[in-house]
Structure formats: C-alpha cells, structure tokens
Structure 1
Amino acid sequence: MISQAKHILLPTDFSECSKNALNHAALLADKFGARITLLNVIDPPFNFPTNVDGVIDYLQENAEQHLERLIEHVDEQYPKRTFKLKHQIRIGKPISQILEAISDLNIDLVVLGSAMDAPTRKVLFGSVSTDVILRSTKPVLAVPEGVKHVGFEKILFTTNFRHKDLRNLEHLAEFAKLFNSEIHVLHVTDKEDLETDIKFRGMKELVKEKKIYKKIDFELKTSDDAFIGISEYVNDNDISMMVMNRYIKSVIGLLLDKNYAKKMSIYSTVPLLVLIGE
C-alpha cells in the first residue's frame, strides 16, 4: 500500500528535473515517515579513449559531490526533517541498476523525473522513467520537468474497470486521507453503450457501499482518443496528480499496444503515479 511506503528510491541524474522529483519525494517521506535513498548510476564509457578505471573514479567523485549538494538542498527545504536520507552510486546501465536497487534495497515506492526537450519533443530522462514504469515491481511516481507545485489536492484515478482497479482505488484513498485530497475517478470511452454504463454505475455503487472515502467523484467521458480525453480532464479540473494502473502484458503486447501509461509519463504536465495491476 503506497500510503504505508517506508523506503523511497529516487534515481537522479542531477538535473533540475530530478531535483524537482526530490522535492516530491521529500514531501512524501515527511508524511509517511519513510526514508529516501538517492541513486546515481554511472554508465561506464567503454569506448572512452583513455583509462576507463580512472574515468570511473573521476565520475564517482563528481557524483559524490552532487549527491552531497542534493542532501544539503533537502536540509534547507526541511530543516526539521525526521526522515532519513542516504545515497548510493552504482555502475552499469541505468534501467538495470534501478531495477536491481528496487529489489536489493526493499523499495516500496520509486520517485523519478521525466524530462523532454519541448522544441524537438525528444525524450531525455523520460526514456529511463518510462522503462522503469513498465518494468518496476513497485509503484512509480514520475514527476515531469517544469512541475513547480508540490501537492496532491486533486487526484485523478483512471480506470478501465479491471478487477485490481478497485483494490488500487482503496489504497489510493488511504493516501488521499493523509493529504485531504479529492479523488476524481475517470473512465474514458470512445462510445457510450449499455455495457460501459453498467460497469461504471457498478463501480460507483460498490465504492459507495464500501465507504472507501468521502471525497470521491466519478466521471464518464466520451472521446475518440483516451489520451486526449484524459488530458482534457486534467486541464479542465486543475488536477495535481494522475494515477494509472499498469497491467502486465506479453512482450508483443507491449510492442503493439499504445500503452497510455507510457505515453502519459512523457507528455504529462502533472505527476503520474503508476500502480501495479497484476
């Protein structure tokens, strides 16, 4: 359950984007009573023309200095912080090292930055964040570059009525209680039909019967493109965080499917929390 997370992993490349993600991680750690591990991964420059070991030693020293400055930044933002903050440097490919760290360190939540160069729409750190989203065994909070507000006043929970969606909504409600957040449950469909209406009404009634949380609203929206429908809802309702459910698919399914969770992590203007479905 995300509201009971006790160990947060924050992969960092020392960019402003990952520094912004650290601000979100610090808020969560302060509220959860969790600890944070900062992780920097050094990708070995095997094609470097000089001594590789010497280069790696230099990169490690440089990373240590950057990590210490990040800790100083958190100390300035949270002078009375009670959560612990440690750091770790690993050598290898970023995605593999992040996934190994999630397992090795018994991580409960991953918080990372997702950046994009606006003029070219070239994915920068976002390529790592989307890989982590698709492969992590734990929830991932991706914080887009440029998000300045740190808060969770209005949370959007998207659903396709999969059987684990209700469980994840219950977990999200516990999170929302900590921040007194509103939860907006949204289903986007390309056409309104009886089956969709029955599922939507059924989920709404079930949530009401279970008394999961008082501040929950439900919305059924029609759009030819789910991504566009979700984006419009985010903009129209001043959403501060989106939540999507990731379901395990076959390799070919990942290659062929649009995969909206991946798409949203790249183009989103608000933080995206991806929960594990099945």
Structure 2
Amino acid sequence: MKTILVPTDFSPSANNAAAYAFEMAKVTKADIKLCHALKVPAESIYAAQVAWPLEDISHLTEGAEAEMKFLTLHIEQNSPSQHSGFKPGVDHSIGVGDTVDYIRNVVSDDHISLVVMGMSGANLFSRFLLGSVSRELISKADFPLLLIPKNYVYKPIKKIAFATDLHHEDINTINALAGLASYFNAELLISHVEGTHDAEKKQVKEFLTEVTTRTQYNKIYFRAVKMDKVTDGLEWLSAHGQIDMLVMTHRKDAFLTQSHCEKLVSETHVPLMVLPNKNMCLII
C-alpha cells in the first residue's frame, strides 16, 4: 500500500495540507501518515526568548497525541463524499529532535511515496519554523515533496504542469508524472521557459519527439513560456496557466536552483511539487 506522509506543527496551514493529502489519497488509494517532531524546550535556540512551560517529554507527547487524534477526526469528518468508496487509513508518529532529520527517517523507514506539507504556519514563530523546514527539505530531500499554499482548498486535479530544462533525465520524470496524472485523468502540460534562438527550438523539438516515443499517455501537451527569467516564467504559469499543480526538479547547479525553488514557494498560487535530482520511478 502506498503511503503519503504529512508532517505537521498543528497550525491551520499544516491542517489544510493534511486535508489536501487526504483527498489526494482517496483518488490514488494511498494511506496517510501524520508525523510531528517534538523539540525539547531546553534544547531550543529560542528557549531564552520564549516562556516555555515546564513540561517533560511525557506531557509534551501526550499533548501531541491529543492533537493528532483531533487532526485525524477533522480531516475524516470534513472530507467530501468518498471517492470510489475508498477511505484512506490514517496513522501517525511522534518523535523528538530535528524536524527535517525526523521526516527523512520516517520516509526511509516506512517507504513513503510522497511528503505533503503546508507552506506556512499560523503565526510568526510557527511560520518561520515550518518555512525553514520547507527550505531545508527542498535542499536535502531525496523524495517527492508537495507544498500546499496556505488556505488552498483541494479540488479535482485536471492539469499538472511540469517545468523542464529539456534535460534527458526529465523523460523518466515525465513518465512518473504521467502515472500520477492518470489517477486523475488529468492533462500533463510540459512547459519550458525559452528564448527565441533556433538552436533552442531544435532542442525542444528533439525533446518532445523523445517524450512522445517513450511516454504512453495520451494527455501530454507542450507549452513554451517566453520570459527572460526562469522564475518569472514559472510564476506566470502558476498564476495564469490554469493549472492545479506545478512540478519541478531541483538541480543545484542547473535550471531550477535552490533560490528558484525558494522564490516559487513564496509566490506560487497552486500546489508546488519539488522532485529530487534523480530518476523518478514512482511518485505515488
């Protein structure tokens, strides 16, 4: 059984991401696992600035367990009617320590297919913490990461856009995305931010020929976005492309750098999936 992991700090943004993941799991017939990493007050860099209650780990864990139960009931009871009668199972885990390390360990131990999390938290402290986690995961993750904008309400996924720099490894990624799109019978839009050079046009043609040859999905389309800057083109696609999800691959020294990803995290209007720099055989 496939499993979607949802890290949470119990903020409204994180709860919204959990609700999105639950709806997605109904369509893809996956289970949900919620996770939360406790940060011991005495070890926190904010300990001198925040009036932490004098609670031990046991009490903190009890509080987190109660929050987990409430969140589970919330996403189950507030979900629309079941898709094809399938109801995802919802499990959870609570650990102690660094949030990013804990998420990565859960992904590895439980063979997680996809991590879904909110882009911002409920308040200044929560927003900074969860935002820093998102940025670090983008940099370190070797698994698909789906970031949900605050207050974005799930709707049936009809069009997924994949931003490509025409790298040959993107063919494998497109194949994996076609599998994801097929669950929703969605269009898969291959998008490239390009200039007007003839050599680039030739490269586009050769890339699309290879996609057509190797990918067995009949709802793949291509759209060129003519912008001078990559990030500007992707922001335009997010806002005006009538898409339900934007997907990109994070390659440190290439097309989509850490700075590109971070800017899109703050600017995108739709869920943003960031894939690691490796061949993807499975997304969900």
TM-score (norm. length: structure 2): 0.84
Residue 19 of structure 1: how far off its partner (Å): 1.1
Unmatched runs of 5 consecutive residues or more in structure 2: 279-284
Indicate if the aligned counterparts of 1:116 and 1:266 stay in contact, CA closer than 8 A: no
2:56 alignment partner, SS class: helix
Aligned to 1:273: 273
Deviation of 1:82 after TM superposition, in Å, equals: 3.0
Q: Residues 94 and 214 from structure 1, CA distance in 2 versus in 1: closer, same or farther, beyond 3 angstroms?
A: same
Mapped pair 1:94 → 2:90:
no
Distance 2:112 2:237 in 1: 32
* Counterpart selection for 2:109 from 98, 104, 112: 104
**Residues 153 and 240 of structure 1 are in contact (CA less than 8 Å); yes or no, is this contact kept in structure 2?**
yes
Report which stretch shifted further, 209-218 or 163-172.
209-218
**Residues 51 and 236 of structure 1, relative CA distance in 2, 3 Å threshold:** closer
Does residue 177 of structure 1 match 2:182? yes
For residues 86-131 of structure 1, what are the alpha-carbon distances to aligned partners after superposition, in whole Å with 9 as ceiling and x for unaligned? 1111010111111111112221211111117899xx7552221221
Equivalent residue in structure 1 for 2:240, among 236, 250, 255: 236
1:1-278 mapped onto 2 (5 Å cutoff):
6-46=2-42, 54-76=55-77, 77=79, 81-115=86-120, 123=128, 125-189=130-194, 191-210=195-214, 212-247=216-251, 249=252, 259-278=259-278
Aligned 8 A contact 1:156 1:239 in 2: yes
1:53 deviation in Å?
Answer: 8.1
CA distance in 1 between partners of 2:129 and 2:220 (Å): 35
In structure 2, distance between residues paired with 1:100 and 1:266 = 26
- 8 Å contact kept, 1:117–1:123: no
Is the alpha carbon distance of 1:83 and 1:258 closer, same or farther for their aligned partners in structure 2, counting shifts above 3 Å?
closer
Shift of 1:194: 2.1
8 A Cα contact 1:130 1:266, kept in partner: no
Between the aligned partners of 2:259 and 2:168, the Cα distance in structure 1 is: 19
Tell me the secondary structure at the aligned position of residue 192 of structure 1: coil
Compute the displacement of 1:64 (Å): 0.8
Decide whether the 8 Å contact of 2:190 with 2:223 is kept in 1. Answer: yes
- Root mean square deviation, CA, Å: 2.7
List per-residue Cα deviations over 1:131-170 (Å, max 9, x = no partner). Answer: 1122112111111112123332111110001121011111
For residues 179 and 52 of structure 2, the distance between their equivalents in structure 1, rounded to whole angstroms, comes to 52
Shift in Å, 1:32:
2.4
SS at match of 1:107: coil
| Identity score, percent | 28
Contact 2:33 2:90 in 1 (8 A): yes
Alpha-carbon contact 1:23-1:150 (below 8 Å) kept: no
The Cα shift of 1:224 comes to: 1.9
Cα separation, 1, equivalents of 2:105 and 2:215: 38
SS in 2 for 1:218: strand
2:228 and 2:24 map into 1 onto residues whose CA distance is 36
Kindly provide the CA deviation profile for residues 232-251 of structure 1, in whole angstroms up to 9, marking residues without a partner as x. 1222222110010123x4xx
Cα distance in 1 for residues equivalent to 2:108 and 2:212: 36
Q: Distance in 2 between matches of 1:107 and 1:42?
A: 20
Look up the SS of the partner of 1:25 in the other structure: helix
**What is the rounded CA distance, in whole Å, between the counterparts of 1:132 and 1:177 in structure 2?**
27
Distance 1:118 1:62, change over 3 A: closer
Contact 1:46 1:52 survives alignment (8 Å): no
